[in-house]
Structure 1
Amino acid sequence: MFFVDLTAYEYQAEDSFTDRESGFYALWYRPAYARLNVGWLAAGRPYPPGPVPAGFVEKLDLLLGIQWMNQCLGKHECDLCPPGEGPEGNGELRIPGAPGVAYAAPSLVTHYVAAHGYRPPGAFVDAVFAVDAEEWAGKRWPDVPFPWVPSQVERLLE
């Protein structure tokens, strides 16, 4: 799937979080914030290459391990890698940006940066560094690691 960086995210109308500890509890809602695409790369489509600041890949990878967003049953293999050699992804990441804006990235975004030299937009890089990973990691159900979840959401409980 390919989307140009910083265009409006329209892949799914709702956002859903799955609890990373139970793997079952979930909540979903129609976001009130704008979602902007970042890192949706595809073979044969150009993307901005270049270096990223030290520590960016590690921080991004850490956040992907903390936040389980829009997890899908199927998997998507990196099609920038030779067939059968790339990692697979099945979810997304939301990073809060300016007030009312969240960046929407695929779970393969760290791989794209580290293995394929993708350089995300500077605003996304800054937003990733601004996330308090320790605070997000400390969130336990029914809280989720993202600050803009509406108080009135549908929650799937056991």
Structure 2
Amino acid sequence: MFYEDLSEYDYQDDDTFTDSASGFYGLWYRPAYTRLNVGWLEAGKPYATGTVPAAFVEKLKAVQRVQWMNVCLGVHECDLCPEGEAPEGNGEVRIPGEPGIAYAAPFLITHYITAHGYRPPQAFIDAVLTVDLDAWASVRWPDVPFPWIPEDAERMSE
């Protein structure tokens, strides 16, 4: 599924957060912020390439260990890889940007960066590097520390 970098995200109207430690609890809400696409690559579509800081890749991987957004029942295979060798992803990641902005990326973004040389926009790289992982990793459900989740979001047990 291809979306141009920094275009407005419109894949899903609502966002759903799943507690990654248990995979059991969910929270869904209609975002009041603008979501911008980053890293939605597809074979045959051009994308930016280049080197990225190693610290950025490590931080992005760490973010993905504590955040699980819009998990789908099916999976998406990387169609840039040869058939049979492609990793799969089934969720998204959110990175807060400037006030009122969050970047929306597929979970395969780290694969696209490390295996296919994808270089996300500098604003996304900078935003990832400013994430306070200690705050995100230290709080468990239902005290989700992500800055874009509204106080009145609906919480559910699955």
TM-score, normalising length: structure 1? 0.97
Specify every segment of 5 or more residues in structure 1 that has no aligned partner in the other structure, as ranges.
none
Cα distance in 1 for partners of 2:143, 2:12 equals 22
Greater CA drift, 44-53 or 141-150? 141-150
Cα distance in 2 for partners of 1:63, 1:133 equals 7
1:74-93 to structure 2, matched below 5 A, reads 74-93=74-93
Query: In the alignment, which residue of structure 2 is the partner of 1:37?
Result: 37
Query: In the alignment, which residue of structure 2 is the partner of 1:111?
Result: 111
TM-score, normalising length: structure 2? 0.97
1:1-158 to structure 2, matched below 5 A, reads 1-157=1-157
Runs of 4+ in 1 over 3 A off after TM superposition: none
Q: Contact 1:66–1:145 (CA<8 Å) still a contact in 2?
A: no
Specify every segment of 5 or more residues in structure 2 that has no aligned partner in the other structure, as ranges.
none
Q: Contact 1:17–1:144 (CA<8 Å) still a contact in 2?
A: no
Q: What's the CA shift for 1:143? A: 2.0
Question: Which amino acid in the other structure matches residue 49 of structure 1?
Answer: T
**Identity score, percent:** 68
Question: Which amino acid in the other structure matches residue 151 of structure 1?
Answer: E
Q: What's the CA shift for 1:122? A: 0.2
User: How many pairs are equivalent?
Assistant: 158
Q: Contact 1:97–1:124 (CA<8 Å) still a contact in 2?
A: yes
Cα distance in 2 for partners of 1:31, 1:51 equals 32
**What secondary structure does 1:44 align onto?**
coil
Q: What's the CA shift for 1:145? A: 4.4
